[in-house]
Structure 1
Amino acid sequence: MDKGKVYSIDWEKYLQPERLRQSGTHASIEWDSRNQFESDFGRVIFCPAIRRMHDKTQVIPLTSGDTILTRLTHSMQVMSVAESFAHYYTRSESFIRTYGEKAYAYDASISAILRTAALLHDIGNPPFGHFGEITIQNYFKKYLEDHHIIKERQAWDFTQFDGNALGLRIVSMLQYTGTLDGLNLTYPTLGAYLKYPNKGKANGDGYVGEHKHGIFETEEALFDKIVSCCNMKVDDKRIKRHPLSFLVEAADSICYGTMDMEDGYNIQWYTFDNMVETLNKYIYQIAIKNKKVDALKKYLTDAKKPETFSIEKLIGFNRKWKDGTEKDKRRLILDFRVALIGYLTKLAIDNFENNLEAIDKGEYSNELLKDDDLDVFGALSDFAQRKIIARRDIQELELTGNSVINGLLDILMSYAFSEDKKFRKKIKAVISKSRMEATLHENFNKEVRFKTFNEEDLWNFDIEQLDNYSKLRLIVDFVASMTDKYSLELYQKFAGLKM
């Protein structure tokens, strides 16, 4: 791409600072010089759902080690990379030349949106991560096949359960303080968060934003407002991603791709040489398969042998200090990770700029890191599957998670659909008060903006008053919002394994 030119996307169409409800708090503080998107960040970082992420591990669940990534530390790292993307893009000479005086306002807005959306990106992940998602999906595929109690559209929210969809529900409603507005974030921040702006069934062969079912029925009205405000509608049938969501996705991929590898190395699951050799072999084989051998040429240790491709040469990594002495093991993995993040960051921002016109038109249907002749991110993903995810201890913990989530759902479902009122009543003692209040407000008092419930309201409420979809919604909201350890402890109590 000619760095002297930037595709002149109309950022005004994507950055309108509108909310579901215009809050008086931010505007009423005269000395508060933050823009609306910077206000969003404050709302998010102080919310309880963010705090709970410290007890959700990234890859290795239920670990007692204090150096292993949690969802919170991972999200902070994603936030850092995403903010770097903003600065690389909006502080370049070409961007400033293209947008003139508006460039500085765009820099502040885009930076704040990316920072907040990145911090949010995993907020809807259930216990035990992506395997927890699969467990919930499989549970309801079987249950709803045997019990036809809700409509097909409603069933997708459970049989195709996705943490991204739950995340939108958490920030827009389940952070409940007497109103159904949740954190009341701006539409552009929510648009950048939405990885899968798709109300329909997952379509793995379709547009990148349709690869998963990303919107629950309960958030459809909000989603329509986000789409309208953020210029995300292509035509009557097609919805495109917000352009900034591509950068949030890339920042997430960079962080889990590099940090999971570093975690495994620090646990001593493999040596540095084994790691590098595995990555080199994958990249070489993919280049041969895709007939991209020419892309290897500058990064060979022997100019005549493509099989001598070196990822170290590609990312500009050196095993020695400038004085020729060898780096120790800790410094090796740290410097390798830094160099790898640098390579992937440049790849992502270059692909973003090169494809911005297609992104703007809703025609770009790829992840930024996958537009790479050498498929470095593919090498990291393959390595993680072979050397980390496939390990016996990881598989055993995932099976534990499967038992925990299935067990909790079995018990809560039996309570919710019991014919005996005494059993139905027990569910109110288990599910948190704020979840129960949010359910009462959403189902019976939706026309009231602010609502206060007293003990009598909760005492007299019978879950039988809810329709079947709302019963399932309440249970899944509760289980999927749990931390790893809390879900295990609660299951052990329910199963009589722990008093």
Structure 2
Amino acid sequence: MILNRLYTHQRTGNHPATAASRTDFQRDFDRIIFSAAFRRLQNKTQVFPLPGSVFVHNRLTHSLEVSSVGRSLGSVVGEFIFDKYEKELDENAQNFYRHNLQNVIAAACLCHDVGNPAFGHSGEDAIASYFEKNESDLKQKFSEKEWADLVNFEGNANAIRVLTHQQNGKDEGGTQLTFSTLASIAKYPCEAVAKSKGILHRKKFGFFQNEKNTFLEIAKAVNLIQESEEPTIFKRHPFVWLVEAADDICYNIIDMEDAHRLKIVSTLDCENLFLELIKSENANTKRVEDKLAILTNANERISYLRAKVINALINKSVEIYQNNFSKILEGNLEKALLDIYKSENKALQEIESFSREKIYGHKAVVEIENAGYNVMNELLDHFIPPVLKQKSERKSYDRMALKLLPEQFVYESGTDYQKVLGVIDFVSGMTDNFATDLYRKIKGIDIGMTM
């Protein structure tokens, strides 16, 4: 049965499974927690500018919360699979779904954003746009598929690279996670030339050409359904839906809570939106109303309602997942779990509409996106032209620029594509503060000795 073959203990770097007090999937979680890529998320923008006088979520706190929600989803779904298919599952699979699916989903949720650059989505746009704007000078240096990677730069694809790529001077296999965890973050399991906006699993792309063989190895190990060999397209892994749902639940709801703390959204508006969603799933809200009668602190009231909303959305996501489980296994579900719910729930539609108007269009958010776009573009323009020149053609200012590139990102003997990916690795891995500081230094805005 396919459920027996959806997971594997195999990990990148060909490191064998080890007998220890932790399972391989718990080890994935721990490896991510201690990784530099994960730590850097603490100073990467989620939505609102960092730092501010009021604490708001960054990419790291967001990922931790998504992981918590993902663990809950994985636990309930694991029990569902065990209960419904127990007789068809082999002994290892029974153990996996009862005890370890939750660990895989929690680990995948934890690292789902490690490929995202600084400054939120504007950082992604800046990298892609840099190559679009310089097409006449750069395109001829790359193959069609390599160029597609660059002009469509995507945090999801970059996450696979960050987690699996062997940097100069480092161990092979990157973070050395199991293929099960890596497959669970592949929302768009296709190459860039196969991108198609109207198709969910091809809305973006999931791996760079440099990591294509690694992804093919992952796909084979966890039995992804192949839709096309040329271009390479797979159906989503069944675990992806749970990771996506956890992410969707958190950013839909917690961005609202952050906006309330920043006084962008009033307490009354926030309470009403959250209460409407709770009421849509629970006709008897007396317990909630009784609790609110006790709580007088505005932030505490919103935090309480946020927790109730997240719980309601977890339960609904599990229900939709179970109802569509056959389609998910076949790779034929065409809408995200929360989008399915949103289409039938006016309260969730209202939250999304309100967020789009009041939060994502707020001046502070737009300002950080504009600033981030310019910072990232300038950094790429400082490093990419010099790195693409032959050593003999580099002027002194080219050589000085490249001295700022750490050794692990320099692929002097590689192709132009690999050299450029090294620069993107460096720039996309920067925190907001580091990128801003380096930008100010190379532009001559800040001059002086800093460490």
Give the TM-score, by structure 2 length.
0.89
Q: 1:375 to 1:119 in 2, by over 3 A?
A: farther
Superposed displacement of residue 468, structure 1: 2.2
CA separation in 2, counterparts of 1:198 and 1:182?
21
Does residue 35 (structure 1) correspond to residue 23 (structure 2)? The answer is: yes
SS in 2 for 1:91: helix
Percent of aligned positions with the same letter in both sequences? 29
CA separation in 1, counterparts of 2:280 and 2:161?
42
Superposed displacement of residue 109, structure 1: 2.4
CA separation in 2, counterparts of 1:322 and 1:384?
26
The residue that corresponds to 2:415 in the other structure is 467
Superposed displacement of residue 105, structure 1: 3.1
CA separation in 2, counterparts of 1:234 and 1:414?
38
SS in 2 for 1:243: coil
Q: Paired residue for 1:426, among 396, 400, 403?
A: 400
- Equivalent runs, 1:33-432 vs 2, <5 Å: 33-65=21-53, 67-92=55-80, 95-96=82-83, 98-99=85-86, 102-148=93-139, 149-173=141-165, 178-201=170-193, 202-206=195-199, 208-237=200-229, 238-275=233-270, 279=273, 310-316=276-282, 320-321=289-290, 324-325=293-294, 327-372=296-341, 373-374=344-345, 376-418=347-389, 419-432=393-406
Q: Paired residue for 1:11, among 3, 7, 18?
A: 3
Q: 1:312 to 1:224 in 2, by over 3 A?
A: closer
Per-residue displacement from partner, 1:423-455 (whole Å, max 9, x unpaired)? Answer: 34324421122223xx3xxxxxxxxxxxxxxxx
Superposed displacement of residue 376, structure 1: 4.5
Q: Does the CA contact (< 8 Å) of 2:256 and 2:265 recur in 1?
A: no
Superposed displacement of residue 66, structure 1: 5.8
CA separation in 1, counterparts of 2:54 and 2:406?
29
Does residue 486 (structure 1) correspond to residue 443 (structure 2)? The answer is: no
Which is worse superposed, 80-89 or 107-116?
Answer: 107-116
Pick the structure with greater CA Rg: 1
Superposed displacement of residue 176, structure 1: 6.0
CA separation in 2, counterparts of 1:104 and 1:367?
28
Per-residue displacement from partner, 1:312-342 (whole Å, max 9, x unpaired)? Answer: 5225456643595564312221121112111
Which is worse superposed, 328-337 or 399-408?
Answer: 328-337
Which is worse superposed, 479-488 or 378-387?
Answer: 378-387
CA separation in 2, counterparts of 1:399 and 1:369?
29
Superposed displacement of residue 466, structure 1: 4.1
CA separation in 2, counterparts of 1:134 and 1:164?
13
CA separation in 2, counterparts of 1:49 and 1:122?
10
Per-residue displacement from partner, 1:187-210 (whole Å, max 9, x unpaired)? Answer: 11110011111114321112x211
Q: Does the CA contact (< 8 Å) of 1:370 and 1:377 recur in 2?
A: no
Q: Does the CA contact (< 8 Å) of 1:90 and 1:106 recur in 2?
A: yes
CA separation in 2, counterparts of 1:470 and 1:236?
26
Which is worse superposed, 320-329 or 232-241?
Answer: 320-329
Number of corresponding residues = 430
Which is worse superposed, 364-373 or 35-44?
Answer: 35-44
Per-residue displacement from partner, 1:77-136 (whole Å, max 9, x unpaired)? Answer: 0000000011112235x7336316653332222111111100000001001011111111
Superposed displacement of residue 493, structure 1: 0.2
Per-residue displacement from partner, 1:148-168 (whole Å, max 9, x unpaired)? Answer: 321221111111000111111
Superposed displacement of residue 234, structure 1: 3.8
Q: 1:39 to 1:275 in 2, by over 3 A?
A: closer
Superposed displacement of residue 377, structure 1: 4.1
CA separation in 2, counterparts of 1:241 and 1:424?
43
Q: Does the CA contact (< 8 Å) of 1:205 and 1:211 recur in 2?
A: yes
Alignment root-mean-square deviation, CA: 2.4
SS in 1 for 2:214: helix
Q: Does the CA contact (< 8 Å) of 1:43 and 1:183 recur in 2?
A: yes
Alignment gaps of 5+ in structure 1: 1-8, 281-308, 440-462
Q: Does the CA contact (< 8 Å) of 1:234 and 1:361 recur in 2?
A: no
Does residue 498 (structure 1) correspond to residue 446 (structure 2)? The answer is: yes
Q: Does the CA contact (< 8 Å) of 2:82 and 2:98 recur in 1?
A: no
SS in 2 for 1:193: coil
CA separation in 2, counterparts of 1:497 and 1:91?
57
The residue that corresponds to 1:4 in the other structure is none
Superposed displacement of residue 65, structure 1: 3.7
Q: 1:229 to 1:417 in 2, by over 3 A?
A: closer
CA separation in 1, counterparts of 2:142 and 2:156?
22
Q: Does the CA contact (< 8 Å) of 1:86 and 1:107 recur in 2?
A: no
SS in 1 for 2:10: coil
Q: Does the CA contact (< 8 Å) of 1:191 and 1:230 recur in 2?
A: yes
Give the TM-score, by structure 1 length.
0.80
Amino acid at match of 1:83: R
SS in 1 for 2:117: coil
Which is worse superposed, 184-193 or 427-436?
Answer: 427-436
Per-residue displacement from partner, 1:347-382 (whole Å, max 9, x unpaired)? Answer: 111111111111111111110011121154443332
The residue that corresponds to 1:476 in the other structure is 424
Q: 1:466 to 1:226 in 2, by over 3 A?
A: closer
